């Protein structure tokens, strides 16, 4: 309790963050305590590049960079939008029985998955296949001269599930995908070589669950294919398995290269290994951690009998790893923002494709303007909800919002956004401003991911009409998140606050709201979300002055 109170006090007093971490302190696992699933990592020169899954968030396929495997920053995205269907635009706000056409529904939990990143012949290459049926699920191959972009679409191919692109030493391209499947691509990466599709291994009897998330490297003349094995029953845990061969057409043999719980959570797997300029190797694997999402761990790799074994001397994920390189500046993938730039920071992502005409950083310099652009019934169909990850072990974010131009029926606010969301909403009712803290839960169809219902439980309501400045109504909204493993009442908890002056805070609504990770709907960790939508007529807007952020050092 004392640690929690100390953290909250620092949140109140600080507007720029906690005391700066020691620059050359050990790398503490999780390496990234935030939602960064399905990683692929490569090294080009002295820089490591990482891509991750962000599904329905846009822009998509974030590219992160680091010099030391400790301090990561987002340097670009492989695409700004996906446009194969109106689903990506949250275009349907009608009840499901009134919707028609192939674009019915949303892409919650779908969209971009498990991107593969490679560097070949002086260019960056990325392969991804949206987790969608039909043509929406066709594989994209992108290319760029720099990891930061711009990226362009090079080709479209059939769907390859959880695939990796691989260039052999002679330049021959391959795709490894699914459970032990592979094929050769044409040299121009625009087609599949006829007759090359095959299984390079067959699932053993003990592999009763999923076997996917392939990543392939070649080391000392041997090919290594690494996959997550999610075995169910039989005393087996989630683990990372590796298949190897010296001949792509020959027999592959298998070994388990990581089977480790970590930090009070379950066993982990899925990721890849990467070498340093000096020839050392590291493994980066993700772990499911509840409401914060799927976090990344870093382990040393030891080559034992020709196998890349991850972990410490006991083959377990270590709590700390010595810094790979010293003297690097402290960086992070979640950032505060004063909205002083004319371009949106790379730390932000929209929920689905944004309506570009309905937001601006230039109409009122120093503010993010969020305009209403269509009438919608709820938050889950609202365009232009702006998100950032939350981080463990504890974090706090707050915004200052100018409400002067809201219309009757408009809803604006700040949310712990997920399939189950804790929401702070300012509702404009005529000339009144009402603050509502609610718990909202969306129901989606399995096939279309269409929104069929939003269960909204109002926990607390405060009429702020007389408390706000009538001519310049402003509100401060704050969200504190905790993701401490094993602490009673603290794990995956969100708490909500508001202020009329940015200094004195009042807690509102559910205390220790339980954040969740849900595989059936969003399939992502909880995000900070800033929103504004219309329920009666479009034309209103809010101006967000800043997003202040602090995170407790792990």
- Going by their DSSP bridges, the two strands 40-44 and 27-28 should be labelled as unpaired
Predicted pLDDT of residue 2: 38
Domain that holds residue 78: 11-321
pLDDT for 491-515, tens place per residue?
Answer: 799 999 999 999 999 999 999 999 9
- 205 or 347, greater pLDDT: 347
Predicted pLDDT of residue 230: 85
Predicted pLDDT of residue 22: 57
Predicted pLDDT of residue 27: 95
Indicate whether 252 and 159 sit together in one domain: yes
Indicate whether 292 and 370 sit together in one domain: no
Token look-up 């620092």 returns: 10
Residue 342 lies in a domain: no
Residue 237 lies in a domain: yes
Indicate whether 286 and 381 sit together in one domain: no
Q: How far is CA 245 from the centre of its chain?
A: 34
Residue 56 lies in a domain: yes
Indicate whether 226 and 289 sit together in one domain: yes
Predicted pLDDT of residue 205: 83
Pairwise CA distance, residues 137 & 114, whole Å: 13
Q: What is the DSSP string of 471-535?
A: SS-EEEEEEEEE--TT-TTTTTEEEEEEESSSSS-EE-S-TTEE----TTTT-S--EEEEEEEES
Pairwise CA distance, residues 60 & 80, whole Å: 6
Predicted pLDDT of residue 17: 45
Q: Supply the mean pLDDT for the chain.
A: 92
Residue 6 lies in a domain: no
Does 534 score more than 50 pLDDT? yes
Predicted pLDDT of residue 100: 59
Name the least confident of 2-6, 184-188, 449-453.
Answer: 2-6
Report the pLDDT averaged over residues 48-52: 98
The Cβ-side half-sphere exposure at 497, using a 13 Å CA radius, reads 22
Report the pLDDT averaged over residues 147-164: 97
Q: How far apart are the first and last CA of the chain?
A: 16
Indicate whether 306 and 354 sit together in one domain: no
Q: Which CATH number do you get for residue 166? A: 2.115.10.20
Indicate whether 144 and 237 sit together in one domain: yes
Pairwise CA distance, residues 49 & 147, whole Å: 8
pLDDT for 208-221, tens place per residue?
Answer: 788 999 999 999 99
Indicate whether 374 and 480 sit together in one domain: yes
- Going by their DSSP bridges, the two strands 152-157 and 527-534 should be labelled as unpaired
Indicate whether 506 and 383 sit together in one domain: yes
- 553 or 541, greater pLDDT: 541
Predicted pLDDT of residue 403: 98
* Number of domains within the chain: 2
Of 276, 303, 321, the residue at which a domain comes to its end is 321
Predicted pLDDT of residue 204: 87
pLDDT for 112-155, tens place per residue?
Answer: 999 999 999 999 999 999 988 888 999 999 999 999 999 999 99
Nearest Cα to Cα of residue 353 among 53, 106, 139, 37? 106
Predicted pLDDT of residue 206: 83
Q: Which CATH number do you get for residue 477? A: 2.60.120.200
Of 269, 303, 321, the residue at which a domain comes to its end is 321
Is residue 468 within 8 A of residue 500, CB to CB? The reply is yes
Indicate whether 289 and 362 sit together in one domain: no
Residue 271 lies in a domain: yes
Residue 235: DSSP 8-state:
T
Residue 437 lies in a domain: yes
Indicate whether 396 and 523 sit together in one domain: yes
Indicate whether 269 and 136 sit together in one domain: yes
Does 4 score more than 50 pLDDT? no
Query: By three-state DSSP, how is residue 419 classified?
Result: coil
Residue 343 lies in a domain: no
Indicate whether 304 and 356 sit together in one domain: no
Does 343 score more than 80 pLDDT? yes
Report the pLDDT averaged over residues 374-397: 97
pLDDT for 371-380, tens place per residue?
Answer: 999 999 999 9
Token look-up 């503490």 returns: 28
Residue 36 lies in a domain: yes
Percent of the chain's residues with pLDDT above 70: 92
Give the confidence band of 99 by pLDDT, cuts at 50, 70, 90.
low
Q: What is the CA radius of gyration of the chain?
A: 24
CA distances from 281 to 240, 276, 302, 314, 326 (A): 16, 6, 7, 17, 17
Predicted pLDDT of residue 383: 97
Name the least confident of 12-16, 185-189, 393-397.
Answer: 12-16
Report the pLDDT averaged over residues 329-350: 97
- Token pair of 68 as six digits: 């030391």
Does 415 score more than 80 pLDDT? yes
Phi, psi (rounded to 5 degrees) for 349: -140, 145
Is the pTM above the cut of 0.75?
Answer: yes
pLDDT for 258-311, tens place per residue?
Answer: 999 999 888 999 999 999 999 999 999 999 999 999 999 999 999 999 999 999
Pairwise CA distance, residues 479 & 423, whole Å: 9
Predicted pLDDT of residue 76: 98
Pairwise CA distance, residues 333 & 383, whole Å: 24
Contacts of 5 (CB under 8 A, 6+ apart): none
Report the pLDDT averaged over residues 421-430: 98
Give the confidence band of 233 by pLDDT, cuts at 50, 70, 90.
low
- Token pair of 166 as six digits: 């691989």
The per-residue b/e assignment along 238-265, b for 16 or more CB within 10 angstroms, e otherwise, is bbbbbbbbeebeeebebebbbbbebbee
pLDDT for 175-211, tens place per residue?
Answer: 999 999 999 999 999 999 999 999 999 988 888 788 9
Pairwise CA distance, residues 413 & 411, whole Å: 7
- Encode 442-467 in three state secondary structure: EEECCCCCCEEEEEEEEEEEEECCCC
Percent of the chain's residues with pLDDT above 90: 85
Neighbouring CB atoms inside 10 A of 25's CB total 12
Of 321, 336, 357, the residue at which a domain comes to its end is 321
């Amino acid at each position: 309790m004392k640690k929690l109170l100390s953290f909250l006090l620092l949140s109140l007093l600080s507007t720029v963050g906690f005391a700066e971490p020691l620059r050359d302190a050990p790398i503490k696992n999780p390496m990234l305590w935030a939602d960064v699933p399905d990683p692929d990592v490569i090294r080009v020169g002295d820089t490591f590049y990482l891509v991750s899954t962000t599904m329905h968030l846009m822009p998509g396929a974030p590219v992160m960079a680091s010099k030391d495997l400790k301090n990561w920053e987002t340097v670009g995205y492989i695409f700004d939008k996906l446009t194969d269907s109106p689903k990506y635009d949250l275009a349907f706000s009608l009840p499901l029985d009134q919707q028609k056409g192939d674009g019915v529904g949303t892409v919650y939990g779908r969209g971009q998955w498990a991107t593969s990143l490679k560097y070949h012949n002086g260019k960056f290459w990325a392969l991804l296949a949206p987790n969608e049926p039909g043509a929406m699920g066709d594989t994209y191959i992108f290319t760029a001269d720099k990891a930061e972009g711009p990226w362009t679409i090079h080709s479209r191919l059939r769907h390859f599930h959880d695939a990796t692109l691989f260039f052999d030493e002679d330049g021959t391209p391959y795709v490894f995908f699914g459970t032990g499947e592979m094929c050769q691509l044409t040299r121009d990466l625009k087609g599949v070589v006829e007759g090359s599709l095959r299984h390079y291994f067959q699932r053993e009897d003990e592999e009763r669950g999923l076997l996917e998330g392939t990543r392939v490297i070649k080391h000392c003349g041997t090919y290594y294919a690494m996959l997550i094995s999610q075995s169910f029953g039989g005393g087996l845990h989630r683990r990372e398995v590796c298949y190897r061969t010296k001949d792509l057409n020959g027999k592959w043999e298998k070994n388990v290269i990581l089977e480790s719980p970590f930090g009070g959570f379950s066993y982990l797997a899925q990721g890849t290994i990467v070498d340093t300029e000096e020839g050392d190797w590291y493994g980066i694997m993700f772990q499911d951690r509840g409401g914060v999402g799927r976090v990344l761990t870093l382990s040393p790799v030891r080559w034992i009998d020709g196998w890349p074994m991850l972990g410490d001397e006991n083959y377990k994920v270590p709590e700390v790893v010595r810094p790979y390189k010293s003297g690097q500046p402290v960086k992070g993938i979640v950032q505060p923002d004063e909205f002083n730039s004319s371009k949106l920071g790379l730390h932000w992502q929209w929920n689905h494709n944004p309506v570009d005409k309905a937001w601006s950083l230039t109409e009122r310099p120093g503010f993010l303007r969020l305009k209403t652009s269509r009438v919608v019934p709820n938050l889950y169909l609202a365009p232009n909800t702006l998100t950032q990850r939350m981080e463990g072990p504890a974090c706090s974010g707050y915004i200052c919002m100018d409400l002067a131009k809201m219309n009757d029926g408009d809803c604006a606010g700040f949310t712990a956004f997920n399939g189950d969301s804790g929401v702070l909403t300012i509702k404009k009712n005529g000339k009144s401003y009402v603050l509502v803290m609610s718990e909202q839960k969306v129901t989606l169809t399995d096939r279309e991911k269409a929104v069929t219902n939003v269960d909204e439980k109002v926990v607390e309501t405060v009429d702020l009409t007389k408390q706000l400045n009538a001519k310049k109504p402003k509100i401060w909204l704050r969200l504190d998140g905790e993701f401490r493993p094993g602490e009673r009442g603290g794990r995956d908890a969100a708490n909500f606050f508001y202020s009329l002056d940015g200094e004195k805070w009042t807690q509102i609504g559910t205390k220790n709201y339980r954040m969740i990770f849900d595989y059936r709907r969003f399939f992502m960790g909880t995000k900070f979300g800033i929103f504004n939508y219309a329920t009666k007529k479009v034309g209103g807007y809010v101006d967000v002055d800043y997003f202040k952020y602090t995170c407790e050092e792990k």
